[in-house]
Amino acid sequence: MGKVLSGEEIVQLSKEYTFFSWSIQSQVNPIPVTKAEGVYFWDADGKRYLDFSSQLMNTNIGSQHPKVVDAIQEQAAKLCFVHPGNATGPRGLLGKKLAEVTPGQLKKSFFALGGSEANENAIKIARAYTGKQKILARYISYHGATHGSIALTGDYRRLAVEPAMPGTAHFLDPYCYRCPFGQKKESCKRECISHVEEIIQYEGPDKIAAIIMEGVTGSNGLLVPPDDYWPRIREICDKYDTLLISDEVMSGWGRTGKWFAVDNWDVAPDIITTAKGITSGYVPLGAVIVSEKIAAHFEDKYLYAGLTYSGHALACAAALATIEVYEEDGLIDNAATLGKYLGEALESIKDRHISVGDVRYIGLFAGIELVENRETKKPLSAEVMAEVKKALLDSGLFTFIMVKNIRTMVFVVPPLSITKEELDEGLTLVEKALEVADKKVN
């Protein structure tokens, strides 16, 4: 047994010898986590936190589910890893299961270790299949941090590493609360859709291999599109012989009350990329799942894609067990049922708190956008958001907080295993923290 570290030692060692993502290193203040179970986790001092963001929107089944832990232990005892050119039972069975739960004619999977890698390889596959190079994506998006996936990403993190992969272009989003086309609900003519076709014309219809979009935009603001958005983008892709890729890394695996977000609108993309909830984060895994037609293309053509850990036996076994948990524990139905309750609760919270400008939700995928002024929609300052975050943590609630000059948000993205009572517990703590924000409203 190794030395039992104190919370202070855990933080000190982690800060001195490791980097933390997307942050100024001297300013990070991590929680020294030592234990987790279900929708809760504990720090080294024994303080309990209710997890309202499923860690990083990935522990969908909750922490330490015994079925998945047992599957990992059993597989580790038999076979952790083999050369990716070899076949294993978990690899084959997982591929078959993904073909069953994904929409349309999606059939064959290429396995990666996360969402960034999945999107990188989706780009390769789309370009090889179509013979075209350009990829269109949205500005309010996040597709990963590697060279190609960060080029697809529309947000500020792309700017710091440019020039990134060439051949990408971006278009505006269905952000109804802050409509980039200046429309209101009653005047909307779906400019966010016609705009996509305009961009295609500017970029050259014969040059565009694929359009990639998150099923529902996640950490960049939780944008739930109008009901006709995905179906009409599908029509546009068909019109211009362009592949449609749904990035379901965050919005997949029951998060929206369906297996995948696009299932809410009965749309079958040509490619789905996924990660996070596929194993609930217990073991790293990502996947690119392509249609039968795309798969057939590579039967007699070389697939220029490879990773040392592609098809990792331990990760695939964890994924199989995780998918069984979704099915056996009824988690997707729970997300749909509690999602309706959550939506109603958030609308009530909006009515009670003047700092809430907008609430957006689908299933157990929700966000509260906070503003300094409801008329101008000016976001709260970073200083006020820091106070809100501190109030949440002090009360024992952990969640994802967005602090940007365009929008400031508190996310409500709990594990799909959460109960109504636990959800109410968390929403009560959120409301108490919103009282801090309400005092700063003009």
How crowded is residue 25: how many other Cβ atoms within 10 Å of its Cβ?
Answer: 10
> Which are the contacts of 35, defined by CB distance < 8 A and separation ≥ 6?
41, 42
Which letter, b or e, does each residue of 313-324 get, where b requires 16 or more Cβ atoms within 10 Å of its Cβ? bbbbbbbbbbbe
Q: Would you say residue 52 has pLDDT above 60?
A: yes
What mean pLDDT comes out for the span 342-365?
98
For β-strands 208-214 and 243-247, DSSP reports them as parallel
The pTM for the full model equals 0.96
For 276-299, the pLDDT digits (tens) are: 999 999 999 999 999 999 999 999
Q: What is the Cα–Cα distance from 369 to 362, expressed in whole angstroms?
A: 15
Q: What is the Cα–Cα distance from 98 to 388, expressed in whole angstroms?
A: 40
Average pLDDT, the chain: 97
Q: Which residue has the tokens 């379901």?
A: 248
Comparing CA positions, the residue from 192, 252, 193 lying closest to residue 218 is 252
Q: What is the Cα–Cα distance from 383 to 437, expressed in whole angstroms?
A: 10
Residues 332 and 416: beta-carbon distance below 8 Å = yes
Give the whole-number percent of the chain exceeding pLDDT 90. Answer: 97
What mean pLDDT comes out for the span 73-100?
98
Q: Would you say residue 209 has pLDDT above 80?
A: yes
Residues 249 and 273: beta-carbon distance below 8 Å = yes
For 8-25, the pLDDT digits (tens) are: 999 999 999 999 999 999
User: What is the residue-wise DSSP string for 85-96?
Assistant: TS--HHHHHHHH
What mean pLDDT comes out for the span 197-207?
97
Return the pLDDT at 1: 53
Instruction: Identify the H or E element spanning 230.
Output: helix 229-239
Comparing CA positions, the residue from 329, 286, 285, 321 lying closest to residue 68 is 321
The HSE-up count of residue 290 (CA atoms within 13 Å, CB side) is 24
Rg, C-alpha atoms of the chain? 22
Burial (CB < 10 A; 0-12, 13-18, 19+), residue 235, is: middle
Q: What is the Cα–Cα distance from 431 to 433, expressed in whole angstroms?
A: 5
Whether cis (ω within 30° of 0) applies to the bond prior to 415 is no
pLDDT tier, 41 (very low <50, low <70, confident <90, very high otherwise): very high
Q: What is the Cα–Cα distance from 179 to 190, expressed in whole angstroms?
A: 10
Domains in the chain and their CATH numbers? Answer: 31-61+330-438 (3.90.1150.10), 67-328 (3.40.640.10)
For 146-157, the pLDDT digits (tens) are: 999 999 999 999
Return the pLDDT at 185: 86
Q: What is the Cα–Cα distance from 199 to 215, expressed in whole angstroms?
A: 20
User: What is the residue-wise DSSP string for 339-382?
Assistant: HHHHHHHHHHHHHH-TTEEEEEEETTEEEEEEEEETTTTEEPPH
Give the whole-number percent of the chain exceeding pLDDT 70. Answer: 100
How crowded is residue 287: how many other Cβ atoms within 10 Å of its Cβ?
Answer: 30
Structure tokens at 264: 């809410």
Q: What is the Cα–Cα distance from 122 to 148, expressed in whole angstroms?
A: 10
Residues 178 and 201: beta-carbon distance below 8 Å = no
* Residue 137 bridge partners (DSSP): 170
Structure tokens at 16: 């001195």
Helix (H, G, I), strand (E, B) or coil at 211: strand
Residues 260 and 103: beta-carbon distance below 8 Å = yes
How crowded is residue 309: how many other Cβ atoms within 10 Å of its Cβ?
Answer: 16
DSSP state at residue 215: S
Q: What does residue 315 show for φ and ψ, rounded to 5 degrees?
A: -65, -40
For 369-381, the pLDDT digits (tens) are: 999 999 999 999 9
How crowded is residue 19: how many other Cβ atoms within 10 Å of its Cβ?
Answer: 9
DSSP state at residue 41: E
What mean pLDDT comes out for the span 71-92?
98
Helix (H, G, I), strand (E, B) or coil at 153: coil
